[in-house]
Amino acid sequence: MKMGKLFYVLVIVVLIFTSSCSNSTNNKKGGKSNVEMDKKVSALLSRMTLEEKVGQMTQITLDKFYNKGILDTILLREYIIQYGIGSILNTHQDKNGSIIPLSMKEWRDLQTTIQNYALQARLKVPILYGIDAIHGVTYLEGATLFPHNIAMAAARDTEIVYKAATITAKEVRACGIRWNFDPVLGVGRQPLWSRFEETFGEDTYLVSMMGRAVITGYEGDGLDKNTAVASCMKHYLGYSDPLNGKDRTPAYIPEIVLRQIFLPPFKEAVDAGTSTVMINSGSVNGIPVHANKYLLTDVLKKELGFQGLVVSDWQDIIALYDKHHVAKDNKEAVMMAVNAGIDMSMVPSDLSFYKDLVSLVKEGKVPESRIDDAVRRILKVKYRLNLFDNPFPEKGTEDYYEKPDYKQVALKAAHELITLLKNDTVSGHSVLPLSNDLRVLVAGPGANSRATLNGSWSYSWQGKDESHYPSNVLTIRQAIEEKIGKDKVINIAPAGFQKVSSQQIKDLQKYASGADVIVLCLGENSYAESPGSIDDLTLSEDQLKLAETASITGKPIILILTEGRPRIVSKIEPSMNAVLLAYRPGNLGAIAIADVLLGEVNPSGKLPYTYPRYTGNIMTYDMPVRSAPYYKPQWPFGYGLSYTTFSTSLKLNHDTLNINDTLQVSVLLKNTGNRYGELAIDLFVRDMTATMAPPMRKLRRFARVALKAGESRRIIFNLSNEDWSFIDSSLKLRIEEGNMMIMVGDKKAAFYLKLKE
Ligand code: BGC
């Protein structure tokens, strides 16, 4: 610890938190006036019975109302009219028990049926319907599927993330749905975790900026516009870092780390005006978050000033007694959750929440004021979404579906994110890009799979069913064939991700001699949530064996990885001549991969996480200095190559910076190679000495720049107090005087931060 150092506990703590309060109350986004809304909501609330209020707090899954694929309208009427449920979510199974994507017409008809029943209830309160359109509209036939968040983060392009979100919002609203359970704002610090692909990676700032872009895209200029949907930041708080890497299992995260690493994206989202939040199913430091009044009410609602609606995750109030064992029965679980600050329960399949909550209020165990607060929050979201004026699918919105320019956005995003991790020089030439007169043997389980390009939440929850994908979505093999001609692609027996068939291994050995190069497509099949839990980050044995077989052929090998999390490849990496990481690049991903392989697009993605080399070395780039000697990744955070070369130079406007002044970082970038290239750059700050052992470096800005061969461009970044502040042991934001370092690319520049002028 550095003694005698000046420090400054920031007034900005107060400023930050009060500004977030005013943001969410002011309704700055051009929607209806707050006065009008408050009046209408209060009037409605005053007419509601306790049962009607609790009904509003109840959310039921659509599948509850289906029997062997047929809608049970009697049951649906009963839940909506008699019990007054406030919300419905998800999709339903068909007669065979499978989830299949619905057509736009089916969605619109369904919403019309539901809202017609809502209008027959005493107070005619419309239903708030929600789905998980995580990277496009999950359960809609033919919906545009964009890259997953982990892939988007590699592009370092908030504009493309914003555009994708505006398109998703339009396609969701076109279905007659107005609530999207997205974005995921967990910081991905645990690569084993099966929902890693839903995160924007391991860095807090990156997650915060991407989250803001998504929320702005969804909520647009106001929820009453028929192009917008209510966003739902999730899963608050600490879900993304379970101790043992398994989904929905306990996390142990000291509050100082919660505040430094995990809370800022949620704060940013509140400031950006997100309307709703979903809660972490797990526990943090022994307390299930659904029962944690401190996190839900004191921090989220009071400190961050979140005015929106708090929804539980799937069955997670029930889980308080049957999984976490912190409540003795459902009734106690409901009491804990509602008193802690949950406003709506994703029950999702029965009336247990409804019945127990009505009794609890009557017995005085849950104050009616808490119920009023919850219902007010729910009704406000409905009001802002214009549901009271028109709860039905809006006329004309069906035209927002499947526009050709949506695909262009998805393709541009996929181009930007593909990350070139290795490109050997063989006989004086880089292996990539490939010339299009070569004969290519395309092997591996990823070669013929659309599911691996998309991962979770892709036409179904697990995204595994290949038959759900539109036939015009190309696989990697097909995309290469389109580029160089079928006759030059050697097509061999298919392979599975866990079990590579012995036929594929034999074919690879047999046909390699006829090929100039092997494109080996490895990685992961699709999975979502708990079914995606694994015990070993290393790529499956069979895939490693296939790679070894390929290496024995003596042909150059290009490894293409499509995967939701970094599967360890250290054993085979030395015998791969080039490596392209495509993450989950979405429906247009294979085309983007082929474009990069053949040099039509110059790769520019940068790793949004540390790619581990060893299972026993799972570290993040922003570790404390003391751990740095142990950081031995396969590829570090921010790594990514190009087909051209760039130079960077760095200048600061101050050697000594007074507190409250702005540091201008001027970065001159030059494309020193001979072809057009885009460059994603990261700017890091290192606090050289601090009372809380400082990290090696922290990402504070990023940008994407396009440069023609020989072209230069200067970018100016302005940094100030927030960029050198950290959470201290009293959990306050703090700044200390001392030496700081700015780092961009291979360049560094130092300055001294002075607290007293
Ligand atoms: C997931 C949520 C999702 C919900 C509704 C849960 O299992 O954890 O992220 O929004 O299901 O589909």
Mention every residue, 6+ apart, whose C-beta is less than 8 A from residue 171: 133, 136, 137, 140, 143, 144, 400, 401, 402, 406
Q: What residues form DSSP beta bridges with 697?
A: none
Q: Report d(CA 479, CA 203) in Å as an integer.
A: 33
CA dihedral 108, 110, 115, 120 (to 10 degrees): 140
Of 630, 665, 688, the domain-final residue: 630
Of 132, 456, 460, best ligand 1 pocket probe by most atoms within 8 Å of the beta carbon = 132
The answer to whether 9 and 17 have CB atoms below 8 angstroms apart is no
Distance CA(543)–CA(499), nearest Å, equals 8
What are the helix and strand counts (H, E) for the chain? 21, 31
What is the value of pTM for the model shown?
0.96
The closest-lying atom of ligand 1 relative to the alpha carbon of residue 131 is 12
Does pLDDT of 306 surpass 90?
yes
Task: Kindly state whether residues 178 and 248 are assigned to the same domain.
Answer: yes
Domain assignment of residue 294, yes or no: yes
Tens-digit pLDDT profile for residues 550-595: 999 999 999 999 999 999 999 999 999 999 999 999 999 999 999 9
411 occurs within a structural domain: no
Return phi, psi of residue 253, to 5°: -130, 115
In the structure, what pLDDT confidence band is assigned to residue 598 with cuts at 50, 70 and 90? very high
Average pLDDT on 198-218 reads: 98
Nearest CA to ligand 1 atom 2: 313
Query: What does the pLDDT look like over 369-389, one tens digit per residue?
Result: 999 999 999 999 999 999 999
Higher pLDDT, 25 or 717: 717
Query: For residue 551, how far is its CA from the centre of ligand 1 (angstroms)?
Result: 42
Contacts of 691 (CB under 8 A, 6+ apart): 1, 2, 5, 7, 728, 729, 734, 736
DSSP E strands in 489-633: the ranges are 489-491, 517-523, 557-562, 578-583
pLDDT digits (tens, 9 = 90+) for 122-163: 999 999 999 999 999 999 999 999 999 999 999 999 999 999
Contact 321, 330 (CB under 8 A): yes
Give the distance (Å) from ligand 1 centre to CA of residue 10. 37
Question: Any idea what the CATH number is for the domain that residue 434 is in?
Answer: 3.40.50.1700
Is position 615 within any domain? yes
pLDDT band, very low/low/confident/very high, at 6 (cuts 50, 70, 90)? very low
Contact 705, 669 (CB under 8 A): yes
The alpha carbon torsion through 25, 26, 27, 28 (nearest 10 deg) reads -150
**Residue type at 652 in one-letter notation:** L
pLDDT of residue 665 exceeding 50: yes
Predicted local distance difference test score (pLDDT) of residue 427? 86
Render pLDDT for 265-294 as a digit per residue (tens, 0 to 9): 999 999 999 999 999 999 999 999 999 999
Is 313 tagged catalytic? yes
- What is the model's pLDDT at position 32? 66
Nearest atom in ligand 1 to the alpha carbon of residue 281 is 8
Specify whether the CB–CB gap between 108 and 550 falls below 8 A.
no
Q: Which two tokens stand for residue 15?
A: 């400023």
Residue after which a domain boundary falls, among 400, 432, 450: 400
Q: What is the mean pLDDT of residues 390-411?
A: 94
307 and 380 in a single domain? The answer is: yes
Ligand 1 atom 4 nearest Cα: 314
Residues with Cβ < 8 Å from 39, sequence gap 6 or more?
Answer: none
The pLDDT of residue 2 is above 70: no
Average pLDDT over residues 702-724: 98
Q: Is pLDDT above 60 for 20?
A: no
Q: What pLDDT does 542 receive? A: 96
Give yes or no for residue 728 having a pLDDT over 50.
yes
Strand partners, 624: 695
Claim to verify: residue 260 and residue 385 sit in the same structural domain: yes
Q: What is the CATH number of the domain that holds 187?
A: 3.20.20.300
Residue ending a domain, choose from 353, 368, 400: 400
Ligand 1 center to residue 35 CA distance, Å? 34
182 CA → ligand 1 middle, Å? 10
Q: Is the pLDDT of residue 685 over 80?
A: yes
Looking at the CA of residue 248, tell me the nearest atom of ligand 1. Answer: 8
Distance 612 CA to ligand 1 centre (A): 28
Give residue 400's pLDDT: 87
- Position 85 scores a pLDDT of 98
For residue 342 the two structure tokens come to 């949950």
pLDDT for the residue numbered 756: 84
Predicted confidence band of residue 643 (pLDDT cuts 50, 70, 90):
very high
One domain for residues 109 and 256 = yes
Q: For ligand 1, pick from 128, 129, 135, 181 the residue to mutate: most ligand atoms within 8 Å of CB.
A: 181
Give the model's confidence band at 31: pLDDT under 50 very low, under 70 low, under 90 confident, else very high. Answer: low
Same domain, 163 and 53: yes
Residue 168 forms part of a structural domain: yes
Q: In what order do the strands lie in the sheet containing 646-652?
A: 646-652, 663-671, 712-719
Q: Which two tokens stand for residue 439?
A: 């004969």
Residue with tokens 């009044």: 293
Same domain membership, residue 656 and residue 512: no
Contact, 84 vs 375, CB < 8 A?
Answer: no
Whether residues 590 and 655 share a domain: the answer is no
Give distance in angstroms: CA of 132 to centre of ligand 1: 7
Residue 136, CB-side half-sphere exposure with 13 Å CA sphere: 31
Determine the pLDDT at residue 681: 97
CA nearest ligand 1 atom 8, residue:
313
Residues 432 and 607 sit within 8 Å (Cβ to Cβ): no
The answer to whether 735 and 724 have CB atoms below 8 angstroms apart is yes
Number of other residues whose CB lies within 10 A of the CB of residue 410: 27
Instruction: Say whether pLDDT at 461 is over 70.
Output: yes
- Bond prior to 237 in cis (omega within 30° of 0): yes
**For residue 686, pLDDT beyond 60:** yes
Q: Ligand 1 centroid to 76 CA: how many Å?
A: 22
- Both 484 and 602 in one domain: the answer is yes
Sign of the Cα torsion 357, 361, 367, 372 reads: positive
**Helix, strand, or coil (residue 382):** helix
Regarding whether 729 and 625 lie in a shared domain, the answer is: no
The residues lining ligand 1, judged by C-beta closer than 6 Å to any ligand atom, are 89-90, 132, 181, 234, 278, 313-314, 529
Structure tokens given for 685: 């700050």
Check: CB of residue 225 under 8 Å from CB of residue 178. no
Question: By residue range, what is the domain housing residue 537?
Answer: 418-630
How many Cβ atoms from other residues are within 10 Å of residue 607's Cβ? Answer: 25
For position 650, which CATH number holds?
2.60.40.10
CA distance 384 to 218: 14
Q: Closest residue (by CA) to atom 11 of ligand 1?
A: 314
CA distance 13 to 243: 30
The residues, ordered by sequence, that sit 6+ positions from 53 with a Cβ below 8 Å of its Cβ are 45, 371, 372, 374, 375
529, 388: one domain: no
Which atom from ligand 1 is nearest to the alpha carbon of 348? 5
The sign of the torsion formed by the CA atoms of 552, 557, 563, 567 equals: positive
| Mean pLDDT of the 220-249 span | 96
Best of 60, 62, 278 to mutate for ligand 1, by most ligand atoms within 8 A of CB?
278
Ligand 1, atom 6, lies closest to the CA of: 314
CB 98 within 8 A of CB 70: no
**Domain shared by 321 and 468, yes or no:** no
Residue 25 lies in a domain: no
Q: Which residue in the list 224, 313, 356, 728 is annotated as catalytic?
A: 313
Q: Which residues contact 48 (CB under 8 A, 6 or more apart)?
A: 56, 123, 375
How many folded domains does the chain comprise? 3
Identify the residue whose tokens are 């390699």. 512
314 Cα–ligand 1 center, Å = 6
CA–CA distance from 298 to each of 305, 348, 426, 468, 470 (Å)?
9, 27, 60, 44, 47
Q: pLDDT-derived band of residue 309, with 50, 70 and 90 as boundaries?
A: very high
Specify the pairing of strand 425-426 against strand 557-562.
unpaired
Write the DSSP symbol of residue 296.
Answer: I
The pick from 59, 93, 277, 314 for probing ligand 1's pocket by mutation, whose C-beta has the most ligand atoms within 8 angstroms, reads 314
Closest CA to ligand 1's atom 7 = 314
pLDDT digits (tens, 9 = 90+) for 468-526: 999 999 999 999 999 999 999 999 998 999 999 999 999 999 999 999 999 999 999 99
367 found inside a domain:
yes
Of ligand 1's atoms, which has the minimum distance to the CA of residue 198? 9
> Is the pLDDT at 10 greater than 90, yes or no?
no
pLDDT band, residue 416 (cuts 50/70/90)? very high
Q: Which atom of ligand 1 is nearest to the CA of 461?
A: 12
Q: Which residues contact 679 (CB under 8 A, 6 or more apart)?
A: 604, 642, 646, 669, 671, 704, 705, 706, 707
Do 300 and 181 fall into the same domain? yes
Six-digit token string for 275: 């309307």
For residue 614, give the nearest of 566, 554, 651 by alpha carbon: 566
Is residue 348 reached through a cis peptide bond, with omega within 30 degrees of 0 on the bond before it? yes
Q: Which two tokens stand for residue 49?
A: 């019975």
Domain assignment present for residue 264? The answer is yes
Q: Which residues contact 418 (CB under 8 A, 6 or more apart)?
A: 154, 580, 581, 582, 585, 592, 593, 596, 601, 603, 604, 605
Identify whether 194 is part of a domain. Answer: yes
Mean pLDDT of the region 85-96: 96
Q: Give the Å distance between the CA of 253 and the centre of ligand 1.
A: 22
For residue 676, the SS3 value is coil
